[in-house]
């Protein structure tokens, strides 16, 4: 019984002492530091929240532009294919026209790829 009381008292003292020594902020100067850190964290949270809201608001615009770029790339690829079919049966001017349309189709495909990359980046944000 006596050993149990001694054990309980010792355990209680160790527990309370460990709780007191584990505190990082003990003085009023420490409280000021804590408040500064709290304000910084709050500002960081507010800034990240605003960036998230902006990214969420911009996402539909990026998706619409990507869709338009994909549609343009597909239509110019079709036009290029049709012009290439004509060029195989035609003369030099039709071949030049087919080359121009092929370059345009390639540029539009690059734009569509860049737009898709922008959408992916925006979704990551």
pLDDT in the model for residue 23? 60
Give the whole-angstrom CA distance, residue 33 versus residue 36.
5
pTM for this predicted structure: 0.51
User: What are the start-end ranges of the H helices in the chain?
Assistant: 2-21, 28-89, 92-124
pLDDT in the model for residue 50? 92
In sequence order, what are the residues at sequence separation of 6 or more whose Cβ sits closer than 8 angstroms to the Cβ of residue 98?
Answer: 80, 83, 84, 86, 87
User: In the predicted model, what is the mean pLDDT of residues 69-96?
Assistant: 78
User: In the predicted model, what is the mean pLDDT of residues 3-21?
Assistant: 69
pLDDT in the model for residue 77? 81
Q: For 14-61, write each residue's pLDDT tens digit.
A: 666 555 555 666 677 778 888 899 999 999 999 999 988 888 888 888
Give the whole-angstrom CA distance, residue 21 versus residue 13.
12
Q: Which two structure tokens, joined as six digits, stand for 88?
A: 């195989």
Evaluate whether 110 touches 69 at the Cβ level (below 8 Å): no
pLDDT in the model for residue 22? 59
Give the whole-angstrom CA distance, residue 27 versus residue 74.
69
Considering only residues 69 and 87, tell me which one the structure prediction assigns the higher pLDDT: 69
pLDDT averaged over the chain? 79
Evaluate whether 120 touches 67 at the Cβ level (below 8 Å): no
pLDDT in the model for residue 20? 55
Percent of the chain scored above 90 by pLDDT? Answer: 10
pLDDT in the model for residue 39? 93
């Amino acid at each position: 019984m006596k050993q149990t009381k001694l054990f309980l008292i010792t355990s209680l003292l160790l527990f309370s002492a460990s709780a007191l020594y584990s505190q990082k902020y003990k003085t009023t100067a420490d409280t000021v530091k804590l408040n500064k850190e709290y304000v910084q964290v709050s500002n960081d949270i507010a800034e990240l929240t605003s960036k998230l809201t902006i990214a969420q608001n911009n996402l539909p615009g990026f998706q619409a532009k990507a869709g338009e770029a994909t549609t343009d790339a597909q239509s110019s690829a079709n036009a290029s294919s049709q012009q290439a079919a004509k060029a195989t049966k035609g003369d030099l001017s039709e071949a030049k026209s087919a080359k121009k349309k092929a370059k345009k189709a390639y540029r539009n495909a690059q734009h569509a790829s860049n737009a898709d990359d922008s959408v992916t980046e925006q979704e990551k944000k």
